[in-house]
Structure 1
Amino acid sequence: MLHPSRLLRLTPLPRALSAMAAPPAGGSGQCFAVEGPGSDLVCFTLSASGRPEPRCFVPAPGRCYSLCVPAAPSVPMARLHRRLQQRLRQGPFEGCRVLGLLCYGAQAALEKGFLIQDPRGGPETERALEELLRGLGELPPPLLGVYEAGERGELWQCLWALRGAGGRELLRRARVVAAEEPPLHPAVPGLSHAAVFHSLEAARSVVEQCTSFIPEATAVLDLVDKCPKQSKKGEFPVIVIEGLDATGKTTVTQSVNDSLNALLLRSPPACISQWRKTFDDEPTLIRRAFYALGNYIVASEIAKASTESPVVVDRYWHSTAAYAIATEISGKVQNLPPAHHEVYQWPEDLLKPDLVLLLTVSPEERIRRLQGRGLEKTEEETELEANNLFPQKVEESYKRMENPRCQEVDASPSREEVLRTVLYLIKKHCGSL
């Protein structure tokens, strides 16, 4: 294991270079954002001409490499990104630091990838990367970016395309210069296409692409196709309970259900919950589509049940969307899409509840409860515990949801007091039950 002092660090680029926010004339038109472990993005672009240099993030003798794939809602590209992510954690890359990388530009589609920092600077990592790319199978391998420090401290990117018989071709050599963070996080424009699904058809098209390698995908689609195209709510109220894990959501949901003599439903519904583990192990694009379809199946159950009694739902669309947004948007809470952005709007083709309650507790209390559960954690639950920025982004995303918005409830007091507050809000918004 490398001593911490030998790990390469990404240094925030100087504010004096803020004039370079746009791609410089003669450059590639691309900008890059490195998603470091801190709360700030490190942004840079490429230039064909001499300009003031940023501080180099590849100190000698180290080197950096980059790989990117298109971030469009394409299942093959999503799986390729996931495969690269898994391989870069193993074998010859264990001594490297792997950071998320976004490639974007005014005329270019978003790409997602990785910046690999190698503190050794020898040829082994580059050879291992070439071997990894050549072994990807039928898909065209991503281009390989190699970053090298010049004699005067400047930084260069060489972009290579791998060719047959072990050869490669240099496509571009350009100087790396600083850029300001864009007004919106680079991933924001693509959220509504590849992370937060606003229609049944958008989610269905993704899961449809998975039937050849996920047998359960066919079963999910069959269940979706048996649902009414546009589920209509009955005369009884529908109340959704949302919140981070360990906020008391399950307990409150059950208590409210008993108090109202209601029918309790959960999302994802029981008919597809058996396949959660299968889809949780897939890239986020596929995972989100699965949970989105689960919401539409639940909607058909809500429509039927709400003709006979009140309905209480343990999580629904807001949960699916909030976790997707927080996962895709790296860094600080301020990187989230602004309030009233389209990504926070309820899907027009999804049955809408009468009331959505968001349970909240302090971060310290939530961690204490999580540690006491002793249950196997999902990837996102692990992220919630390890990264205090992630739960902040999930909760803030919840609070920005609209039509319907979330009514916040402090779930820190006793169970009885929380239940009284929740029942008061239900009576206030849904009338006498």
Structure 2
Amino acid sequence: MARRAMALLLPQWCSRVFSVELNGAPLYFSIQEKHQGEEVPPVFRKVQKYDRCYSLLVCSSDRVTRAKFYAELKEKLLRDLPKECDLSPMNSFLPNVKDSLIKGYFLKDKTEGPSQSERLLRDLIQHDTVLVCSYLRSEDGQLWTQRLWSHADNKTMEMSKEYFVVPSEAPEYHPATLNIINSDVFYSFEEAYEVLKKSADIIPEATSVLEQLPGRAEARSKPDFPVIVIEGLDATGKTTLTESLRDSLGAALLRSPPQCLSPSRACFDREPPLIRRAFYALGNYITAEEIGREGMKTPVIVDRFWHSTAAYAIATAVSGAVCNLPAEGSEVYCWPTDLLQPSLVVLLTLDPEERKRRLRGRGQGETEEEQELDHNQLFRLKVEEAYRRISGPACVTVDASPPADQVLQQVLLLIRGKCHL
């Protein structure tokens, strides 16, 4: 068993709630020492008589190690488990308690005969970072119990105390929201820097990124001229508009992430969310330094900035319906206090079908998140709603469906009204 992890978790084990993601929505259950006639939790109701169920939770005090191992564990399970096994994302958490979230996987083994998956799990519990549980059904199928695995030595395995598995109501806050701050969205230079610094031992490209970072003062210095950020999904006309604004206003045009990070993007796009988000967060601080420098001489137009980084991360982290997002006014939508604030943020919106038509016309490759936008309407709605809820400054929405020259004139009116240009 992951001894060190369990020493911390066991005292609160019965207070924890567990969630399994099925079809994009979490199903909740909890455990207790005595059964009081509760129904079988929804996640177990469709388990066939001879199916075997397990959970694996990734526990480590070092979040970079935890994030890397979580991603590697998924690859290993998908590669080594029999094809008859179903694997689903899983969480364990203390309801409404920040930073209590532990991520893992729920495994349903539908193979007949000796369990290959159980042999694999026996090997995994040799790691101090993995906590394994098995779930057992009573003969009549009306009761399910959970048992934690441990090992006495490298050859034998023991089961800890048995707990009854019972349904649990959905918590007040979606469990992912307990873990967003400085994991999915970063709110300070220092937090993102620490993640990339710890990653440098295992990701060589991290060192070159760290060498390009500005000082904290440079990332929040206020320029003399206005800073206008243009946000929006791909194919909403950001490139056309930003270039037209540059020419119309005699402004400098910058992009986030900055050009200097382009050689590293492919590498960090393959990393777990914690490391990937830290990389893009630091990109905003590099862009902020560039804004401060250019903004002393001329107005600055920025193609995407912190709003994009936060909106996509929040929408990705929180599964299920739009109502699962952190409530409007939540601290997750607040602008980082150490990052330069723009004078105006314009969010271009477009009918989804028109946006798809424009994307097809461009014939360009899309990022993984942009592909998700195209085939998952719910994800797109969550991104758009997250954009709408971000404050400090909030986005001003502009319909991007008219011809480009009309959109330009509308945005110029906004800039003249709010920035006095």
TM-score, normalized by length of structure 2?
Answer: 0.89
Identify which of 126, 129, 154 aligns with 1:165.
154
Contact 2:220/2:341 (8 A) holds in 1: no
Contact 1:266/1:315 (8 A) holds in 2: yes
| Aligned: 1:30 with 2:21 | no
CA–CA separation in structure 2 for the residues paired with 1:232 and 1:100? 42
Contact 1:32/1:45 (8 A) holds in 2: yes
Q: Deviations over 1:303-354 (max 9, x none)?
A: 0101111111011111111111111111111000000100100111111100
**What's 2:167 paired with?**
178
**What's 2:3 paired with?**
none
Identify which of 402, 414, 419 aligns with 1:425.
414
| Aligned: 1:45 with 2:27 | no
Q: Deviations over 1:175-209 (max 9, x none)?
A: 21101100110121221131111110011000000
Relative distance call for 1:415 and 1:264 in structure 2 (3 A) is: same
What SS does the corresponding residue of 2:230 show, helix, strand or coil?
A: strand
Cα RMSD over matched residues? 2.2
What SS does the corresponding residue of 1:89 show, helix, strand or coil?
A: helix
Q: Deviations over 1:123-146 (max 9, x none)?
A: 122223334555xxxx51411121
What SS does the corresponding residue of 2:154 show, helix, strand or coil?
A: helix
Cα offset for 1:163? Answer: 4.9
Cα offset for 1:160? Answer: 0.8
**What's 1:11 paired with?**
none
Which of 145-154 and 266-275 deviates more?
Answer: 145-154
Which of 63-72 and 141-150 deviates more?
Answer: 63-72
Equivalent residues in 2 for 1:288-367 (5 A)?
288-367=277-356
Contact 1:34/1:100 (8 A) holds in 2: yes
**What's 2:369 paired with?**
380
Cα offset for 1:420? Answer: 2.0
2:20 partner letter: V
CA–CA separation in structure 1 for the residues paired with 2:363 and 2:57? 38
Contact 1:48/1:175 (8 A) holds in 2: yes
Gaps of 5+ in 1: 1-25
Cα offset for 1:411? Answer: 1.4
CA–CA separation in structure 2 for the residues paired with 1:42 and 1:121? 26
**What's 1:7 paired with?**
none
1:119 partner letter: K
Contact 2:31/2:164 (8 A) holds in 1: yes
| Aligned: 1:113 with 2:104 | yes
Gaps of 5+ in 2: 1-11
| Aligned pairs, number | 402
CA–CA separation in structure 2 for the residues paired with 1:93 and 1:240? 49
2:15 partner letter: G
TM-score, normalized by length of structure 1?
Answer: 0.87
Contact 2:18/2:30 (8 A) holds in 1: yes
Relative distance call for 1:162 and 1:319 in structure 2 (3 A) is: farther
Cα offset for 1:89? Answer: 2.4
What SS does the corresponding residue of 2:212 show, helix, strand or coil?
A: helix
Equivalent residues in 2 for 1:127-146 (5 A)?
127-132=119-124, 134=126, 140-146=128-134
Equivalent residues in 2 for 1:376-415 (5 A)?
376-415=365-404
What SS does the corresponding residue of 1:90 show, helix, strand or coil?
A: helix
CA–CA separation in structure 1 for the residues paired with 2:355 and 2:371? 13
**What's 1:245 paired with?**
234
Q: Deviations over 1:384-408 (max 9, x none)?
A: 2332221211111110000100111
What SS does the corresponding residue of 2:391 show, helix, strand or coil?
A: coil
Equivalent residues in 2 for 1:81-100 (5 A)?
81-100=70-89
Q: Deviations over 1:348-390 (max 9, x none)?
A: 1111100011111122233333344433333322322332221
